[in-house]
């Protein structure tokens, strides 16, 4: 992957190869010839690869730290409880890949075979891929600009040998930027079932999530629904509920009513008791997803 200049206008922009910042870039001639404007062959290759993947679900938020990766991991585990269902979990958070840690797969490496990169299998029917597996140390920072991140996502979708998959769950970073545009663009012709959007109850999250919902509508990505995470805290000692993240503006429920998107459920913050409840809540969410 060649280095691109700091102010790269983008290979598919009208200024490609012509902008001031293009001077000296190894790709300048290529971009100026209009090659960037021609359809990316990777899209076709990814469409072909995705033929063995029945359902694709993106887990989005807009807001960071709401529990996208946690939810993605639990959803993957929950769906994989049926041994006859093949699940793939793809982590496209290039700068902050949390999935390896959450899945207990830190330190695992990715192997290459003739048919592409092999995902890391946490169970026979649950394969995982993340940039985290490509880093040699937990201190390694991935300091990449947009074009390089896009290249990685393209490789994840085109070069990973997922095999026959019933559900591909894609965990995304926060925001509405390169990674999100790229994954939607690359998977557009392969059909995405939809997005599950995670939020917490408070307005500071909801204001970002409304943007994310608008992003989905802009790029014509169907919205399966919203999950409100960290919704109430049960004290392990007295069992009484408190609102650590109060829904001062009506929480996800009101936002979903206003924007006419389904509210799939609420997940409490319950560090001690929650694991079983959490899984049960996810069972019902999975049933929603499977039927939608």
Partner 1 sequence: MEAAAEPGNLAGVRHIILVLSGKGGVGRSTISTELALALRHAGKKVGILDVDLCGPSIPRMLGAQGRAVHQCDRGWAPVFLDREQSISLMSVGFLLEKPDEAVVWRGPKKNALIKQFVSDVAWGELDYLVVDTPPGTSDEHMATIEALRPYQPLGALVVTTPQAVSVGDVRRELTFCRKMGLRVMGIVENMSGFTCPHCTECTSVFSRGGGEELAQLAGVPFLGSVPLDPALMRTLEEGHDFIQEFPGSPAFAALTSIAQKILDATPACLP
Closest Cα partner for 173 from 94, 108, 110? 94
* Binding test (CB under 8 A) with partner 1, winner from 57, 59, 69, 71: 69
Give helix then strand counts, H and E, for the chain: 9, 12
Single residue of 30, 142, 188, 263 touching partner 1 by CB under 8 A: 142
| φ/ψ of residue 275, rounded to 5 | -60, -50
Count CB-CB contacts under 10 A for residue 235. 11
CB of 228 to partner 1, least distance (A): 14
Distance, in Å, from the CA atom of 187 to the CA atom of 193, rounded to the nearest integer, reads 10
* Residues 10-29, mask of contacts with partner 1 (x by CB under 8 A): x-------------------
In the list 27, 72, 86, 98, the residue contacting partner 1 (rule: CB under 8 A) is 98
For the bound state, the minimum distance from the C-beta of residue 29 to partner 1, rounded and expressed in Å, comes to 19
Q: Does 144 bind partner 1 (CB under 8 A)?
A: yes
Chain center to CA of 80:
18
133 binding partner 1? (CB under 8 A): no
63 contacts partner 1 (rule: CB under 8 A): yes
Give phi and psi for 126, each to the nearest 5.
-135, 105
| Token digits of residue 129 | 């891929």
Q: Both tokens of residue 257? A: 């009513």
CB of 51 to partner 1, least distance (A): 28
Give yes or no for residue 130 binding partner 1 (CB under 8 A): no
Q: How far is the CB of 9 from partner 1 (least distance, A)?
A: 6
Contact yes or no for 169/126 (Cβ under 8 A): no
| DSSP 8-state assignment for residue 178 | H
In whole angstroms, the minimum distance from the beta carbon of 4 to partner 1 comes to: 9
Build a one-symbol-per-residue string for 259-288: x at contacts with partner 1 by CB under 8 A, - elsewhere: ----------x-xx----------------
**Contact string 212-251 vs partner 1 (x = CB under 8 A):** xxxx--x--------------x-xxxx-x-xxxxx-xx--
Shortest distance (Å) from residue 11 CB to partner 1: 11
CB atoms within 10 A of CB 5: 18
62 binds partner 1 (CB under 8 A): yes
Tokens of 52: 């063995």
Query: Which listed residue (49, 56, 74, 149) binds partner 1 by CB under 8 A?
Result: 149
How far apart (Å, rounded) are the C-alpha atoms in residues 50 and 167?
11
Determine the Cα–Cα distance for residues 197 and 285; give it in Å rounded to an integer. 13
- Residue 283 is given by DSSP the state H
Containing 167, the helix (H) or strand (E) segment is: strand 165-171
Q: How far is the CB of 44 from partner 1 (least distance, A)?
A: 22
Q: Which residues bind partner 1 (CB under 8 A)?
A: 6-10, 62-66, 69, 94-96, 98, 101-102, 138-147, 149, 173-178, 180-181, 202-204, 207-208, 210-215, 218, 233, 235-238, 240, 242-246, 248-249, 269, 271-272
């Amino acid at each position: 992957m060649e280095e691109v200049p700091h102010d790269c206008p983008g290979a598919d922009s009208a200024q490609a190869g012509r902008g001031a910042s293009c001077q000296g870039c190894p790709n300048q001639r290529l971009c100026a010839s209009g090659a960037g404007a021609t359809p990316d062959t990777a899209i076709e290759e990814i469409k072909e690869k995705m033929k063995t993947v029945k359902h694709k679900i993106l887990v989005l938020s807009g807001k960071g730290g709401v529990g996208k990766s946690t939810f993605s991991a639990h959803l993957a585990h929950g769906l994989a409880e049926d041994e006859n269902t093949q699940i793939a979990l793809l982590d496209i958070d290039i700068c902050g890949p949390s999935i390896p840690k959450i899945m207990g797969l830190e330190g695992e490496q990715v192997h290459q075979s003739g048919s592409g990169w092999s995902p890391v299998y946490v169970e026979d029917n649950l394969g995982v891929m993340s940039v985290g597996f490509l880093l040699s140390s937990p201190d390694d920072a991935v300091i990449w600009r947009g074009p390089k991140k896009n290249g990685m996502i393209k490789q994840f979708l085109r070069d990973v040998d997922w095999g026959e998959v019933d559900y591909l769950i894609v965990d995304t970073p926060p925001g509405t930027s390169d990674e999100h545009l790229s994954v939607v663009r690359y998977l557009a012709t392969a059909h995405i079932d939809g997005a599950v959007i995670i939020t917490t109850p408070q307005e500071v999250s909801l204001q970002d999530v409304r943007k994310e919902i608008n992003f989905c509508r802009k790029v014509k990505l169907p919205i399966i629904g919203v999950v409100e995470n960290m919704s109430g805290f049960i004290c392990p000692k007295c069992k009484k509920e408190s609102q650590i993240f109060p829904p001062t503006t009506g929480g996800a429920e009101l936002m979903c009513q206003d924007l006419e998107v389904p509210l799939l459920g609420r997940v409490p913050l319950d560090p001690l008791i929650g694991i079983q409840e959490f899984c049960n809540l996810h069972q019902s969410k999975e049933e929603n997803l499977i039927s939608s």
